[in-house]
Amino acid sequence: MESLVARRFSLTDHAFALDGYTDAWSRAYLNLRCQYSPNATLYPRQAYRAELFQGIGRGWEPSLSYDHMSFTSTKVDMYGVGFGKYVGNWYLRWAHALDPVHDTRSLPPCRRALLPLGKRGRLRRAERRLRPPGSELLPHSVLINVTSSWTAGAQMQKFFTRGWGIWLTGSVSDEHTSNPFVERDASLTLLFRW
């Protein structure tokens, strides 16, 4: 569950989102997202996203995505393709989104800046792979230790000039098992808009 705030010059908007992952089939999983903005000043009134990831070969992960956004004056449908690669603890990802019907230049600049059109690159490092919550069979015992975990995160976007800015994200994951641990993740992305 997410609570989002966007500020563009004198405008401010809020949105709420549910975002989840589920298994699809062997080495495949699906990301589903639903977002709603009560005022729809900067964010779309409703936004839906689905992305299917498929693991292939040794650490490759292509994906296909679909986004639908309903603004007060227009609707936008976007299709995307992405490629990821796991190299040890590193994850490299490239994605491209395309809106084949609408010309986003007709949208106000404050809304156009929120649309994920174009190309994106990402580089992440994981110190330890997380297991989903479940059961753990303890060695030399018939007892089962039920595991649980929680995750919290935040993100901020700030433009220092009209074209250049940064996107800062951070998260904390706490897993409770017979060997508990906490994972922290942070990333800094350089943004350029035109």
Whether 152 shows a pLDDT value over 80: the answer reads no
Q: What is the CA radius of gyration of the chain?
A: 19
pLDDT in tens, 13-68: 889 999 998 999 998 999 999 999 998 888 899 999 999 999 998 889 999 999 99
DSSP track, 37-91: -SS-SSS-SEEEEEEEEE-BTTTEEEEEEEEEEE-SS-EEEEEEEEEEEEETTEE
How far apart are the C-alpha atoms of 69 and 43, rounded to whole Å? 9
Contacts of 146 (CB under 8 A, 6+ apart): 134, 135, 136
CA-CA distances (angstroms) from residue 3 to 18, 27, 36, 37, 82?
9, 30, 10, 10, 26
Nearest one of 72, 74, 66 to 50, comparing CA atoms: 66
pLDDT score of 72 = 83
Portion of the chain with pLDDT greater than 90, in percent: 19
Q: How large is the average pLDDT for residues 117-125?
A: 68
| pLDDT in the model for residue 30 | 93
42 CB neighbour count, 10 Å cutoff: 22
The whole-number pLDDT of residue 52 equals 94
How many angstroms separate the CA atoms of 154 and 162, rounded? 24
Least confident of 10-24, 77-91, 98-112, 150-164: 98-112
* Confidence bin at 117 (pLDDT 50/70/90): low
- 149/173 Cα distance (integer angstroms): 7
Q: Taking 70 as the threshold, does the pLDDT of residue 143 lie above it?
A: no
Cα angle 52, 56, 57 (rounded to 5 degrees) comes to 165
27: tokens are: 């080495």
Which pLDDT does position 58 carry in this prediction? 86
Q: What is the pLDDT of residue 8?
A: 78
pLDDT of residue 41: 85
